[in-house]
Structure formats: structure tokens, C-alpha cells
């Protein structure tokens, strides 16, 4: 298998942290998003949606989308479980992973992509050009701030995002918090539960991936 | 178990079609989104994100998010499989389900929610008010049209969205196409593969759910 990555981007980092938690070492290809390598004819054959991460299987099939890649790797390498151990745990992990994506990650992408000078005509990932919408950048920042509150409240009663066990939902949430800091949205000082959780997950060796 | 539904909304329809395919009959509660029942104190206890669908388990746990609900029901009722039968098939189903959501459903939600007169201050689902952004409605329509082309191209080489088997990705895509028609975005006449596929999936008894 071959992993198409970009060291500076948050989406492939979710897979890198997942691989580190599993102890899986894959042949890795860096795709230079900065120079637009994702739009090259060669990369379009790997993923016509022009985004990383991509996992190329030994039979040549290319899997994109973080959840699909992580879920596939979980089936092949069940230990340690990162999607929960029971049907109910797995459902809660998928639920929280979806909430983190929709309320956190996609809102952050709105904030970042609609304000970055480098992305004037690329406000959305993918092969099509979309101009920036400044109101969407503002709305994104508001939503990320609200999401951090929501996460703080969830972590008041739960050691980790989806319960008392570490999961892929924590990976998605940690990547969100780190990228939020990068666009200068800080965790509020009074979000004690979120600060406690972030201290724990960011100390794990996988966090440096 | 108890299913919180709204007959007129596309997201819970994805679960209704899934239940019909599985032959599962659940106690169902209609939530009146038109009158704002999702914002009531009673419903916030069921889902603080104020959206349907929700599956309430017998132990009182409430699961939201379509993928989490369908995945849980698949574990409890494996036949007929709607997430594929092998690790690779399951990954491709999750990949395509994510693409349908991000490129199709969320784009359509942008188009609809940023233009509907009834949603002036509710351009996003959930408990917080967001004003409409007209450019986002236009961008959403453009993206849905592009997504229908993308789907047509995928269906040139595949009987169903994720391969030669019916799956939850087809359900998500069918709901997208039907809702697109509702906001007057039609399948183009030259999208022969999409028209062929839609004819097949919309003839299944589950499509009326």
C-alpha cells in the first residue's frame, strides 16, 4: 500500500496520527499542495477530486476520504481499536467524528480558505475554482469558536470525545484544535475540560505525526 | 428503539430508505421542523444539535448523524448488507458516501438554506442563528450541478455508486437527486448513466420511504 500525504495539511494528518497509533508504517508520497501538484494529470488519476489523503492499495485501487481510509486500516489492523469495541461504541465514535467534521473541521476550512491570500480562487478544495466569500470566513470563525464550547461541554462528562476510550473522533478533534490555533482561534481559558483533554491527547507520541 | 423522523426532510429520509431496505420497523416519532419543534427544550435533550434523524436506543442513549445510525443498524441487522461485504467494498462505500455528502448533500443544503424565505436566519441547521449568504446559495447550485456530472461519470463504469452492488451510498445519492429536483436542479438530459441508475434505484420499494 502507498499513502499520499502532505505534511502541512490537516486532513492527511488525521491519517498520519491514526497510522502512528496503530504502529503502521507505510510507503509515503508527499504531494506538494503549495505548488498545485494535486491538480497535475498524474495525481488526477490517483484522485480526480484533487485532495489528499489517498491510500493506494496493492491492487491499484485508490481510496480517498479520511473516514474510508481509517476504517479500512482498522479492519486490517484491529489493534488497538480506534473505532470503539462494541456496536454502540462504534456508533458513538462515528457520530462524534461526523460532528467534529461538520461543526469543527469544515467550519475551519471555511474560515481558512475564504481568507487565505494564497487561495483567492480556491475557496473549496477540489478541481473547480470558487472565489472566496468573506462572510463565510467570518461565519467559519464563529462556528469554530462555538464548536470548541460544544466540545468542552462533551468532555465534562467524558474522558475522551466519544466516551472513556481514545478513538478516531479524538484524532479528528485534536487536528481541529491544532489547526484552529494555526488560524489564531484559541481554546478559551475557561474551557477546562477541553484543556484537560487536549493536554492528554497532545502528549501521546502519535500527536507529533 | 425509537426513531425521530421528519417526513419532509432529506436527512431522515436516508434512514427511512435504509430501514425499508432492511425490512426494519421502528417506533417512529415525527418532529415538526416547520414549527421549530427541534428547538424545544424536550428535543434538545434528545439531540442538542437540534436536528433529525435521531435513533434512541433502549438504554436511552440517543444516536444522531445518518452514518452513525445506519452503521449501527447494519451491525444489528447485517442482511441485506448495505455497506458492502468485504473490507475493500466497505471502504469504497464509505468513500462514496462521504463524497455524496460533501459534494452533493452539503452543497444542496447551502443552495436551499441560503435562499429559502422560511430560513432567513437559519442558514445552517442547529441551535445557532446564521444569516443567509446569497453567494453561497448560487455556489451551492453550481456545485450540485457539477456533482451530478461527477456521479454520471462514476456510474459509467459502475452499476451502482460504489460498485456492482446497492449500498448506503446509493441511498445518499438518490436522496440528493430527489432533493435537487425539489429545488429545481434537474439531472441533465445527456447524463445517461445517472438517468439509468436513477431509474433503477427509484423503482425499488424503499424509494417511497
**Residue A93 maps to a domain:** yes
Tell me what the mean pLDDT of segment A128-137 comes to: 96
Low-confidence ranges of chain B (pLDDT < 50): none
Query: Over 90: is that where the pLDDT of A182 sits?
Result: no
Return the biggest CA–CA distance within chain B: 50
Please tell me whether residues B102 and B138 are part of one structural domain: yes
Q: Which residue segment(s) compose the domain that A193 sits in?
A: 87-208
CA distance B8 to chain A (A): 22
Best CA proximity match to B38, nearest among B15, B64, B18? B64
| Contact assessment for residue B84 and residue B94, using Cβ atoms and an 8 Å cutoff | no
Residue in A75, A94, A126 closest to B87 by CB: A75
A156-171 pLDDT per residue, tens: 999 999 999 999 999 9
Alpha helices in chain B (DSSP H): 10-22, 41-46, 66-76, 87-99, 106-113, 134-154, 168-182, 192-201
Name the interface residues of B facing A (CB cutoff 8 Å). Answer: 48-49, 57, 61, 63-65, 67-69, 71-72, 75-76, 87-88, 90-92, 94-95, 98-99, 103, 106, 124, 126, 128, 130, 133, 135-136, 139, 143, 146, 150
pLDDT of res. A160:
98
Contact between A99 and B65 using a beta-carbon 8 Å cutoff: yes
φ, ψ at B89 (rounded to 5°)? -60, -45
Beta strands at B2-5 and B27-30: parallel, antiparallel or unpaired: parallel
Contact between B92 and A68 using a beta-carbon 8 Å cutoff: yes
| Contact assessment for residue A42 and residue A17, using Cβ atoms and an 8 Å cutoff | no
Task: Name the percent of chain B lying above pLDDT 70.
Answer: 100
A97-110 pLDDT per residue, tens: 999 999 999 999 99
**Residue A190 maps to a domain:** yes
Please tell me whether residues A92 and A159 are part of one structural domain: yes
Please tell me whether residues B22 and B106 are part of one structural domain: no
Please tell me whether residues B195 and B101 are part of one structural domain: yes
pLDDT of res. B14:
98
Query: Over 90: is that where the pLDDT of A208 sits?
Result: yes
B22-62 pLDDT per residue, tens: 999 999 999 999 999 999 999 999 999 999 999 999 999 99
CATH number at residue A51: 3.40.30.10
CATH number at residue A144: 1.20.1050.10
| Contact assessment for residue A15 and residue A53, using Cβ atoms and an 8 Å cutoff | yes
Task: State the DSSP string of A54-71.
Answer: EEE-TTS-EEESHHHHHH
Tell me what the mean pLDDT of segment A145-152 comes to: 96
Burial class (CB in 10 A: 0-12, 13-18, 19+), B157: exposed
The x, y and z cell numbers of residue B29, run together, are 416519532
**Residue B82 maps to a domain:** no
Please tell me whether residues A91 and A51 are part of one structural domain: no
Contact between B98 and A130 using a beta-carbon 8 Å cutoff: no
Strand partners, B122: B130
ipTM entry: 0.97
**Residue A35 maps to a domain:** yes
Give A48's pLDDT tier (boundaries 50, 70, 90): very high
Please tell me whether residues A109 and A173 are part of one structural domain: yes
Please tell me whether residues B106 and B133 are part of one structural domain: yes
Please tell me whether residues A144 and A193 are part of one structural domain: yes
| Length of chain B, in residues | 209
pLDDT of res. B182:
87
Measured in whole angstroms, how far is the alpha carbon of residue B5 from the centre of its chain? 12
Tell me what the mean pLDDT of segment A62-77 comes to: 98
The number of distinct structural domains making up chain A is: 2
Residues of A with CB below 8 A from B49's CB?
A: 99, 103
Please tell me whether residues B18 and B57 are part of one structural domain: yes
Please tell me whether residues A51 and A152 are part of one structural domain: no
Please tell me whether residues A118 and A187 are part of one structural domain: yes
Amino acid at each position: 500500500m502507498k499513502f499520499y500525504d502532505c505534511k502541512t495539511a490537516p486532513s492527511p494528518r488525521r491519517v498520519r496520527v491514526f497510522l502512528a497509533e496503530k504502529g503502521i508504517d507505510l510507503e509515503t508520497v508527499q504531494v506538494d499542495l503549495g505548488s498545485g501538484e494535486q491538480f497535475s494529470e498524474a495525481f488526477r488519476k490517483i484522485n480526480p477530486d484533487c485532495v489528499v489523503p489517498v491510500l493506494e492499495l496493492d491492487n491499484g485501487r485508490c481510496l480517498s476520504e479520511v473516514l474510508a481510509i481509517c476504517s479500512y486500516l482498522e479492519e486490517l489492523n484491529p489493534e488497538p481499536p480506534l473505532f470503539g469495541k462494541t456496536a454502540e461504541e462504534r456508533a458513538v465514535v462515528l457520530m462524534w467524528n461526523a460532528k467534529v467534521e461538520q461543526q469543527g473541521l469544515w467550519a475551519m476550512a471555511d474560515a481558512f480558505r475564504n481568507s487565505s491570500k494564497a487561495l483567492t480562487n480556491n475557496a473549496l478544495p477540489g478541481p473547480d475554482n470558487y472565489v472566496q466569500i468573506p462572510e463565510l470566513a467570518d461565519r467559519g470563525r464563529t462556528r469554530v469558536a462555538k464548536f470548541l464550547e460544544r466540545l468542552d461541554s462533551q468532555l465534562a462528562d467524558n474522558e475522551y470525545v466519544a466516551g472513556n476510550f481514545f478513538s478516531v473522533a479524538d484524532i479528528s478533534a485534536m487536528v481541529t484544535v491544532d489547526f484552529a490555533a494555526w488560524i489564531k482561534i484559541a481554546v478559551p481559558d475557561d474551557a477546562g475540560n477541553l484543556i484537560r483533554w487536549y493536554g492528554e491527547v497532545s502528549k501521546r507520541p502519535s500527536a507529533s505525526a
